[in-house]
Amino acid sequence: MGMGIELRNRIARRASDEIRNGMVVNLGIGIPSLVPEFLPTDMRVMFHAENGILGMGPSPAVGEEDENLCNAGGFPVTLIPGGSYFDSSLAFGMIRCGKVDLTILGSLQVSEKGDLANWIVPGKKVPGMGGAMELAQKAKKVIVVMNQCDKAGNPKIVSSCTLPLTSAECVDLIITELAVFEIKKGKLWLKELFAPYDIQTVIERTGCGINLPEQIRKIAY
Amino acid sequence: MENLFGKIAEVDQVMSFFHDNMVLMFGGFGGVGSPPLLIDEILEKGVKDLTLIGNDTGFPHIGIGRIVSQGRAKKVIASHIGSNPIAGKLMTEGKMEVEFSPQGILAERIRAGGTGLPAILTDIGLDNEMVSNGKSQFELNGKKYLVETALKADVAIVYAKKADSFGNLVYDKSARNTNPLVAMAGAITIAEVEEIVPVGYLDPEEIVTPGVFVDYVIQSGGVNWKWAWESN
């Protein structure tokens, strides 16, 4: 996605702060997959995969991959103690019933109301929704990690999505390389700023109005 | 080995079930848990105008992607085709129709087909035109739901770790994925397995798919494609 590894890690590190002990978490591909690296080693989290794993562990060492133990993106993973395997029906039953506490996804656009558009660019890229609709609609909390702007420089946080929606009013938190935004009761709030950016820069690179709270935390890393 | 139920077969014996215009359902997720030998034999036989139903279209050279990439499908019902650019190209060129179904709903439609239910009610994609278009809605307890129809197939092909001669199946880790659902939804279900054992050799508690759903069991030679994560 044309973003340096440092910025990607910064976003992933901030996203990892949202994970609490005991949570069931589903991570999308790309930046979300970097999140586990930033979790304290004593934290107990059950990572969920749509292809039927609860309790995914880190990637195995080269040469120790098991072709029948892969994440939803098709890459080898491991299983932690307490982990389990099940079929796709159960994997999504868990999601629909709200057993997944948190999902961290990439996106093409997010609206100020929290509408998520991350599955299709009509006429260009039509990969299909995979499991994104269920996750966006039914996970207890939805965090989007993405660039502030697309490759052409257009803001990805907009007043109204121009791309087809994956799910309406579902995003709770947006983390970009510039800032952290919270969506509360249909309104977009600036919550935190990454150094060295200032509020003005964020406003210029956002495609809708932003509510500014009295306190905006600055993140130094 | 004794073949009490007549289910253990050579691959040649089951190839007569595959023909042009058939509805073929396949197990697997990104190629993991898809049956390599059956896929190669289907390609070899040259059947075309298939309607394929499964989670995704694999990669161009992995899993069902091999059949898709050769232009053998006229329609695919799947949740994702992103890992197979040839599938996207065929769709864009109008050479292959793609019906997208949200992943868990697709799994549940297959499960419904395999468990004797005509349809399911869901609120996934209710507000999404590309999902809800052309589907009936049903109101229950004051809430709206989409009616998602069950999916069945002429033949279902699955991959498992072990089968006994009754066709009871045991899967391997995340290669289970859609296989137990797909195994139930075929008028004929063929399981390609890594190991065939006599009845009584599987712990009844570990059997995931009861053999009643499986018509034929084929010995696999294992995966014969290179995974995306393998170097060189």
CA atoms of B26 and B156, how far apart (whole Å)? 6
Burial B109-119 (b: 16+ CB within 10 A, else e): bbbbbbeeeeb
Q: How far is A122 from chain B (nearest CA, A)?
A: 11
Chain B interface includes A9 (CB < 8 A): no
Q: Is the pLDDT of residue B23 over 50?
A: yes
Chain A hits for B32, CB-CB cut-off 8 Å, are 51, 67-68, 70, 74
End-to-end CA distance of chain B: 39
Residue B190 included in any domain = yes
DSSP H helical segments within chain B, as ranges?
11-14, 36-45, 65-69, 85-92, 103-114, 129-132, 179-184
Nearest-CA residue of chain A relative to B106? A89
Chain B interface includes A30 (CB < 8 A): no
Task: Using the structure block, give the residue that is written with the tokens 């947006």.
Answer: A174
Over the stretch A68-77, which tens digit does the pLDDT of each residue have?
Answer: 999 999 999 9
Q: How confident is the model at residue B232 (pLDDT cuts 50, 70, 90)?
A: low
- Report the largest interatomic distance among the alpha carbons of chain B, rounded to a whole angstrom: 58
CA atoms of B92 and A73, how far apart (whole Å)? 23
Mark yes or no for CB contact B80/A51 under 8 Å. no
Residue from A55, A152, A35, A53 nearest A105 by CA: A35
Report how many domains make up chain A: 1
Q: How far is A116 from chain B (nearest CA, A)?
A: 11
Chain A hits for B56, CB-CB cut-off 8 Å, are 128, 130
Give the mean model confidence (pLDDT) for residues A204-210: 98
pLDDT at B35 (0 to 100)? 98
Q: Which of B30, B59, B104 sits opposite A131 (nearest CB)?
A: B104
pLDDT at B129 (0 to 100)? 87
Q: Is the pLDDT of residue A2 over 70?
A: no
pLDDT at A3 (0 to 100)? 77
Q: Is the pLDDT of residue A1 over 50?
A: no
Residue B2 included in any domain = no
Nearest-Å Rg of the Cα atoms of chain B is 18
Mark yes or no for CB contact A89/B102 under 8 Å. no
Q: DSSP 3-state assignment of B107?
A: helix
Residue B232 included in any domain = no
Q: How confident is the model at residue B54 (pLDDT cuts 50, 70, 90)?
A: very high
Phi and psi at B95, nearest 5°, equal -90, -15
User: Looking at A6, A18, A37, A50, which residue is catalytic?
Assistant: A50
Contacts A–B by Cβ distance under 8 A: 143
Residue B26 included in any domain = yes
Chain B hits for A52, CB-CB cut-off 8 Å, are 29, 174, 176-177
Return the ∠ at Cα A168 (arms to A181 and A26), rounded to 5°.
70
Task: Using the structure block, give the residue that is written with the tokens 């690296």.
Answer: A37
Q: Which of B107, B123, B228 sits opposite A89 (nearest CB)?
A: B107
Interface test with B, best of A66, A78, A87, A169 (most B CBs within 10 A): A87
For residue B22, CA distances in Å to B17, B52, B75, B183 come to 9, 9, 11, 17
**What percent of chain A lies above the pLDDT cut of 70?**
99
Nearest-CA residue of chain B relative to A64? B230
Q: CA B69, B74, B121, A164: dihedral to nearest 10 degrees?
A: 70
Phi and psi at A9, nearest 5°, equal -65, -35
**What percent of chain A lies above the pLDDT cut of 90?**
91
Residue B229 included in any domain = no
Q: How confident is the model at residue B52 (pLDDT cuts 50, 70, 90)?
A: very high
- CATH number at A71 reads 3.40.1080.10
Chain B interface includes A33 (CB < 8 A): no
Report how many domains make up chain B: 1
pLDDT at A215 (0 to 100)? 94
Whether the Cβ atoms of residue B113 and residue B154 lie closer than 8 Å to each other: no
Q: A73 lies in which domain range?
A: 5-219
Chain A hits for B176, CB-CB cut-off 8 Å, are 52, 85-87
- CATH number at B157 reads 3.40.1080.10
Q: How far is A56 from chain B (nearest CA, A)?
A: 11
For residue B175, CA distances in Å to A48, A67, A177, B158 come to 15, 8, 36, 10
pLDDT at A119 (0 to 100)? 87
Return the ∠ at Cα A60 (arms to A56 and A64), rounded to 5°.
130
Chain B interface includes A176 (CB < 8 A): no
CA atoms of A5 and B33, how far apart (whole Å)? 33
Residue from B19, B75, B80, B38 nearest B55 by CA: B80
Q: How far is B231 from chain A (nearest CA, A)?
A: 10
Mark yes or no for CB contact B102/A49 under 8 Å. no
CA atoms of B214 and B196, how far apart (whole Å)? 13
Over the stretch A120-158, which tens digit does the pLDDT of each residue have?
Answer: 888 888 899 999 999 999 999 999 999 999 999 999 999
Reply yes or no on whether A67 is catalytic. Answer: no
Q: DSSP 3-state assignment of A134?
A: helix
Mark yes or no for CB contact B102/A134 under 8 Å. yes
Quote the pTM value.
Answer: 0.96
Residue B153 included in any domain = yes
Q: B211 lies in which domain range?
A: 11-219
Q: Which of A53, A67, A127 sits opposite B80 (nearest CB)?
A: A127
